[in-house]
Structure 1
Amino acid sequence: MQHRGQEGAGIVSNDNGKLYGYRELGLLSEVFKDDRQLAQLKGSAAIGHVRYATAGNGSVDNIQPFLFKFYDCSVGLAHNGNLTNARSLRTSLEQDGAIFHSNSDTEILMHLIRRSKKENWLEQLKEALNEVKGGFAYILMREDCMVAALDANGFRPLAIGKMKNGAYVVASETCALEVSGAEFVRDVQPGEIIIINDEGVTIEHFTEDTQHAICSMEYVYFARPDSNIAGVNVHTARKNMGRNLAKEAPVDADMVIGVPNSSLSAASGYAEASGIPYELGLVKNQYVARTFIQPTQELREQGVRMKLSAVRGVVAGKKVIMVDDSIVRGTTSRRIVDLLKEAGAKEVHVRIASPPLKYPCFYGIDIQTRKELIAANHSVEEIRQVIGADSLSYLSEDGLIDAIGLDFDAPYGGLCMAYFNGDYPTPLYDYEEKYQASLKEQTSFF
């Protein structure tokens, strides 16, 4: 699932209890361009990972899955998310003699497992999972089984599927099950450990103290539209966001256009609800990576310039409603408004299918300071001026919650809405002090 990470990729395979691994920087097509690299990954089971950095630098040492070879066993480990107490745990472990081979928070789990005094591997894993805090979806490959585990809030999606030959698949999104020919079985639930071996599937729990807080940005941006998360189709949720946005923020215009690709569903919903025609006003170069998850601002701006073009024959002389999923730094929005006006658009009205992003994410999205967020530092009118739009409106929090439609017995129906309102579902641990200090800081985007 290349859309979830673009900085590196790797695979660990299992051939009758012997584990093999390969990892490298780059896109999947670059990492595994040589068939010999795949050929050496022998076996009948494997785990894979694409890197989207939220902790650790961009060296190959941080590319996953990690492959640990101990005197008594070998283990592959991959992680999606971000630990909020990683710094404290790592400091404690290093003071106790641990030697780390990466600066990724993923490696911490294995150190905790190996230092546990519990009587068996499963109990050691449970103890370790109760020590790490924050957002995590783990996949481990042991010599005799594959293990999946999800944090107590289920911040990141994790789904189980079954192949026609009886083999099981675990993936961050259900779209991967479809591609591999697997039938969806169930989502991994918060606090669960899933053990898959030759006998089948066993479900364990490392904690019963759970409450759903699924990352709302999975529905807004990250996940593919053909995926289902907690039973809700991502495309349908995004289309509902567009419908609700049209009701909350109508505007007189000639056409509705979506910013490819994650905003197309919301744009179609806005067009349907408003009765304004949907048009193809922007074209995306499909060979340019996603700008939001690029690791530096320079790369994001370069990506915006390369990935989009306005269709002059469609937008020239027209009043355009441009629907996008979010505004993070304002980089993309400003450039797209410029593109549309350069192509002759008479007016550009920007409608955002999520609330203003005002607060950092500490659970697996690489936005960890408020100075990166334009809405944390400026009013809606000021943002409109920065991006050069004729008008700007966002979807309300209630509109987003209603559009997704989860109904768990939890705040916001089971969504994490912290990016919009600062209501974090867990303590922030190592991030708390800097976060509190950041609330007093202001950064100008003008």
Structure 2
Amino acid sequence: MQVTETLKEGLKRGYQIKVTAEELEAKVVAKLEEARPQIEMKGFRKGKVPMALLRKQFGPRLMGEAMQEAVDSAMAKHFEETGDRPAFQPEVKLTNEDWKEGDDIEVSMTYEALPEIPEVEFSRIEIERMVVKPSDEEVEDTLKRLAENAQEFEDKPEGEPAEKGDQVVIDFVGKVDGEAFEGGSAEDYPLVLGSESFIPGFEEQLIGAKAGDKVDVKVTFPEDYGAEHLAGKEAVFECTVKAVKRPVPAKIDDELAKRYGAENLEELKTRIRDQLAAEYANAARAVLKRRLLDKLDEMVDFELPPTLVETEAKQIAHQLWHEEHPEVQGHDHPEVEPTEEHEKLARRRVKLGLLLAELGRKNKIEVTDQEMTQAVLNQARQYPGQERAFFEFVQQNPQVQQQIRAPLFEDKVVDFILELAKVEEREVSKDELEKAVEALED
């Protein structure tokens, strides 16, 4: 077996691999000898079939296996000896296409090698972590919003009309072409005007109504309405307004706290403060991470695999194009050519991605099964009632698993770097943190 270098240009590599006919034949014979004791053929005892007959019967199939194994073995030995790690699956082609049994086989192998990643002195990195402490005022504002969300309704003085935000208690019968339809009637139905819980145009026609009024609400069902027999149809809802109520915020007391799962008001305040602190910490973490990556981008430089950069640039251009054209759901559109800005961003992403991957590899940083399971469960909660289906979907799709694993791995490597860097905490206002977060989108 011979391996000859044919290309070494930057990170591009090319090799010619030659496997002699004698080597192939030896592999085929070895495979036949290994299988021979278990082979039975008519006229021969088990394990006593002549080699020539075995060679004729199974040789062609085993030759293909031998060729593949020989090339795979040559590639593995090459990567072990050179230390090269391909950025993509190497491209392997048979060069003597007129090959016949008894000939040597020759294949070409080309790939782009991953670059050598320089060492980085993380102790030289000085970076600031923003810290925001929730104020008493913010806790009180949150309590007020919770009280508003937990609002109740009380009867308005007799004769006062309904306004947007009020609740009307109604009996109604819906009719299409003068005939009542199934599911179109209710009694003592509490409807908050402006909640948009009924079909468009319904609630607006009850504004100004008073208790005791009878109102015919005329609407047209949307064309995409769920019930096909009503879609696009004009309807009249004969409504009787039985009561008009105005919203009254709930009192901020222990009873309100219990409605939100706390034992008392003080515990609810503590929960709110902790939640706000966690939200601020997550936002500050995003700012810290971006600033760290910016510093790494400036500190480290090395050659990048051209194909990785090209592929990333195309993905960026394609993604941004769809963000600008949300009406296009599929991929049936003209090819999107990357711009210089896309390529610049691609180079940054590829460089930082390779750097973080190498740091993780060298320092044996891995995402545990427990961390993966927790991340999948967190995402599954976004699909109430379909958690099990989502979990099974992830289990059956390695690509989706990688999409979940990648950010977990990146965060663990970032934490590793921050442990070595000089991180100083600085207390800032909520507004300053918000401005820093907004700057991330620029």
- TM bracket, shorter-chain basis: under 0.3
Answer 1 or 2: which has greater helix percent. Answer: 2
Higher relative contact order (CA 8 A, sep 6+): 2
How does the TM-score come out when normalised to structure 1? 0.21
How does the TM-score come out when normalised to structure 2? 0.21
